[in-house]
Amino acid sequence: MNADQGSIAAMNAGQNELVTPTEQKVAMLWSEVLQIPLPRAEDDFIELGGDSMTLVMTEYRIMEDFSIQLRAGAMLEARTVRALAQLIDAEQRKSAESSAPASADFG
């Protein structure tokens, strides 16, 4: 499922449900780091009790679990599960494109 399909699925499913696999993984991660029940898609990290330390911890975990690079503090601008999942998907697409073989450009 790509990001657009994910957004459409999200609209169909109702705004606050976890839809894409990335959203589900992010929600499980927040639940573990913040020691809370599974959050919903539009829940805000800070409002759930996140602070600077848990934010940094979560960013490190995302970089490790999804094999991507995140700018320090990126989560301050992607504070909901859904926004963060979209950011992760975008970063994963970027790194897949940059590592694709050169011949693909002529495909």
Partner 1 sequence: MSRFSEFLNKLSDHASKQCIDGDDGSHTYVQLIEAVAAWSTHFDELDVAAGTVVGVRSDYSLQAIAAVLALLVRKAVVAMIPRDRDVSTYLKDAHAAAVLEFSASGKYEWRRIPHATSHVLIEKLRSQGDGGIILFTSGSSGRPKAALQGLERFLYKLRNPGRPYRTLAFMLFDHIGGLDIAFHTLAAGGTLILTRRRDPEAVLELIERYRVEALPTSPSFLRLVCATPINVQHDTSTLKVISYSSEPMDPSTLVRLSERFPNARITQKYGTTETGSPRSISRPDDSLWLKFKEGVETKIIDGVLWIRTECAILGYLNATSPVDEDGWYCTGDQVDVDGEWIRVRGRVSDTINVGGEKASPTEIEQVILEQDFVRAVIVFGEKHPLMGQVVAAEISVAPDFDTKDAAARVRRHCRQRLAPHKIPVRILFTDQDLTSARQKLQRRGVQGG
Instruction: Summarize as ranges the residues that interact with partner 1 (CB under 8 A).
Output: 35, 52-54, 56-57, 60-61, 64, 72-73
Q: How far is the CB of 57 from partner 1 (least distance, A)?
A: 5
Residue 7 is which amino acid?
S
Q: What is the nearest approach in angstroms of partner 1 to the Cβ of residue 27?
A: 17
In which residue are the tokens 């780091």 written?
33
Q: Would you say 22 or 54 has its CB closer to partner 1?
A: 54
Least gap, CB of 45 to partner 1 (angstroms): 14
94 residue type, one letter: K
Nearest CA-CA partner of 33 in 94, 93, 86, 84: 84
Q: Which residues pair with 52 in a beta bridge?
A: none
Smaller CB separation from partner 1, 17 or 32: 32
With respect to partner 1, which residue has the nearer C-beta, 19 or 88? 88
76: left (phi over 0), alpha (psi -120 to 50) or beta: alpha
